Amino acid sequence: MYTIKQPDQIIFGMNSSKKFTFPKNSLVITSSGTKSRGWLNYLNIKNYEIFDLVEPNPSMETVEKILSKYNQTFSSVIGLGGGSSLDVAKFVSNKLKIKKILIPTTFGSGSEVTKISVLQIDGKKTSFHNDNLLADVSIIDPYFIKNAPFEIIKNSAIDACAQCTEAYDSKLANPYTKFLCRKAFNILESALLNKKYEELAYGAMISGLGFGNSSTTLGHALSYVFSNEGVSHGHALAFTTTAAHKFNNSEFYERFKLLVKKLNFKPIKLDQDFNEATKIIQLDRKHLDYNPKNVSKKDIMNLLSIINT
């Protein structure tokens, strides 16, 4: 038996967020670049408060700060930005028990269509999985990719590619998620190879619907020790997911590796002692338990040394 969960409403297409009628008296949650980029004018939101101090890799303190800052009653939360802004918006709206409207401006985390929110607790990335974190309305507008720096585009895109390919192989996969994940990778790969970056928005959305209803696996599990040393999520996955795909004999191994090469990711290195890193990775049961193959301590040590060369 399988169950699929997704936002009540998914709206997508060029300028879809501009055409949307936003509810009055909303709280916009976003990061500091939003105003200067003119995104609020583009969206045409009326009567709103704004919190635009969401940091990269946000912490639970940011959620608490927002909750204590405002004492008026809002009609809804509008999350606008990359995965960080959306994850904070999801958490805040769930606490306030009000509607959440999510608008991604980078396309990779899939947060706008998943029930997952990742926040730092005591300096460690912690992922929360809860049906209440699903958006009421998710608006995917490729407009936002237009002026995005290529570094952001490639890091987001490789995350989406890692998510859908890991999820395709996941033990939690089902015929529906496999259908979505394969479709997502085909779209993302073609968008990257043909430099049609607007199509990444659609590919990342399909990837989010696929992996959000199954799970990412070994590639993601291996990535966090690198992220803890400051390597960005996508950059880490470029190498950890490649190594994981080889280990798992994934049918996507060659195609994923080719994308990493085309996007010109610089090799990554782990400074931390491998033994210590392996201990941390082994605790990540959310990812490892759904990996198609069992992963031993020795396997993780081997994978880390492959990634580090």
* Stretch in the footprint of Zn ion (CB under 5 A) among 16-24, 36-44, 58-66, 157-165: 157-165
Site string for Zn ion, 100-139 (x = CB under 5 A): ----------------------------------------
Nearer to Zn ion, 27 or 181 (CB): 181
Nearer to Zn ion, 87 or 159 (CB): 159
List the beta bridge partners of residue 117: 128
Nearer to Zn ion, 45 or 164 (CB): 164
Residues 159-218 that bind Zn ion (CB under 5 A): 159
- Measure the CA–CA gap between 231 and 274, rounded to whole angstroms: 16
Rounded (10°) angle between helices 150-169 and 175-193: 150
- Measure the CA–CA gap between 80 and 244, rounded to whole angstroms: 32
Nearer to Zn ion, 43 or 303 (CB): 303
Q: How far is the CB of 216 from Zn ion (least distance, A)?
A: 6
Nearer to Zn ion, 141 or 159 (CB): 159
- Residues in the interface with Zn ion (CB under 5 A) total 1
**Nearest C-alpha neighbor of 97 from the set 67, 58, 139, 128:** 67
Q: How far is the CB of 166 from Zn ion (least distance, A)?
A: 9
Q: How far is the CB of 233 from Zn ion (least distance, A)?
A: 6
Nearer to Zn ion, 78 or 237 (CB): 237
Residues 244-303 that bind Zn ion (CB under 5 A): none
How many CB atoms are located within 10 Å of the residue 287 CB? Answer: 23
**Residue whose structure tokens are 């918006």:** 89
By beta carbon distance, the residue nearest Zn ion is: 159
Q: Is 87 in the site for Zn ion (CB under 5 A)?
A: no
Q: How far is the CB of 20 from Zn ion (least distance, A)?
A: 27
Q: How far is the CB of 120 from Zn ion (least distance, A)?
A: 15
* Stretch in the footprint of Zn ion (CB under 5 A) among 12-20, 153-161, 261-269, 298-306: 153-161
Q: How far is the CB of 262 from Zn ion (least distance, A)?
A: 19
Nearer to Zn ion, 99 or 182 (CB): 182
Nearer to Zn ion, 17 or 170 (CB): 170
**Nearest C-alpha neighbor of 30 from the set 95, 92, 97, 72:** 92
Q: How far is the CB of 297 from Zn ion (least distance, A)?
A: 24
Q: Spell out the residues 6+ positions from residue 188 whose beta carbon is closer than 8 angstroms to its own.
A: 157, 160, 161, 164, 200, 203, 204, 207
Q: Spell out the residues 6+ positions from residue 222 whose beta carbon is closer than 8 angstroms to its own.
A: 236, 240, 243, 244, 281, 300, 303, 304, 307
List the beta bridge partners of residue 121: 124
Q: How far is the CB of 4 from Zn ion (least distance, A)?
A: 20
**Residue whose structure tokens are 């958006």:** 135
Q: Spell out the residues 6+ positions from residue 148 whose beta carbon is closer than 8 angstroms to its own.
A: 105, 106, 197
Here the tokens at position 307 are 């990634």
Binding site for Zn ion (CB under 5 A): 159
